[in-house]
Amino acid sequence: MTGILAVQFSPKKGDKKYNLNKVAEYIDSNSHNRLDLVVLSEFFSTGISHDAFVQMAEDEFGGETIKFLSGLAIKYHTNIICGTVIEKCEDKYYNTTFVLNREGQIVGKYRKIHLYNYMGGKEGELITAGDKTVVVDLDFGKIGLAICFDIRYPQMFRELAQKGAEIIVLPTAWIIPKEVFENEQTRNYARDMWIAMNRTRAYDNMIYTVICDNTGRVDSDLSTLGCSMIISPMAEVLADAKFEQTAIYSQVDLGIVKLLKSQYPITSID
């Protein structure tokens, strides 16, 4: 069995120290569990702020943020999907997920391909899109990497599954208008749609999905949805953070992925 932890909280804009310490607290409070993989959210160290993105951008090795998380990976002997940081490479900025092994070494990274430039989103004004899908081979299994708006592109998840991914992780900062979040009926509708999308990606590709979102108010107009989840290949929601600041945990059996794919060669059928 593989133990997975996903950390959901409300990052403070521009307060990296606070945000990193919150991550450390959540991991420590769950260290009695078997921790094979810890997953963090999109923009977990900066909050959602273009000013903070520029001012707190990290270098191609992840800078201060990845150095801090490397120490946690070693201390708790766990692999970490480091949410996303804004990576500056020469004169370009990328929204990047770094992957650390149990020795705190960077063993992979993925630059977000599908930027959110719609319905008021302006990610592409600062961020350059990546151009490669990534699957990382960790000591317990193969992990496919995706970020937030990538969820709207089923063909990307299929490609990751075809590359051998047994788990696909999705660091997220899923934004909805404040009026939607503050109305119980519309908030629950947004939640239902979010759950449906993520369950479908897991079921269609016969893989586990781990979704890790922020939660709570971003600014006067926007909120993040929350609803971080761990979902089985049969689309069962094994853990759900709902709208709370919390960490969710589940043990998963990757043997189920191998069994299902031997029975239903879904990734080889077009």
Q: What pLDDT shows up at residue 219?
A: 86
- pLDDT score at 119: 65
pLDDT at 195: 96
- Do residues 222 and 176 lie in contact, with contact meaning Cβ atoms separated by under 8 Å? yes
Question: Please, what's the b/e burial string for 153-174 (b: 16 or more CB within 10 A of its CB; e: otherwise)?
Answer: eeebbbbbbeeebbbbbbbbbb
pLDDT confidence of residue 220: 82
Q: Where are the alpha helices (DSSP H) in the chain?
A: 16-29, 50-55, 63-76, 154-162, 178-182, 184-205, 254-263
Q: In the prediction, which pLDDT does 266 show?
A: 80
Q: How many CB atoms lie within 10 A of CB 78?
A: 22
> Measured between alpha carbons, how far is 261 from 35 in angstroms, rounded to an integer?
26
CA–CA dist 154, 199 (Å, integer):
12
Chunked in runs of 10, what are the mean pLDDT values of the chain (270 residues)?
97 96 98 98 94 91 95 98 96 96 98 86 87 97 97 96 97 92 92 96 96 92 93 97 97 95 81
Which residue, 79, 139, 150, is CA-closest to 111?
150
pTM value is 0.95
Closest to 79 in 3D by CA, of 57, 108, 52: 108
CATH of domain 2-268: 3.60.110.10
Task: Phi first, then psi: give them for residue 92, nearest 5 degrees.
Answer: -115, 150
- The residue extents of the domains of the chain are 2-268
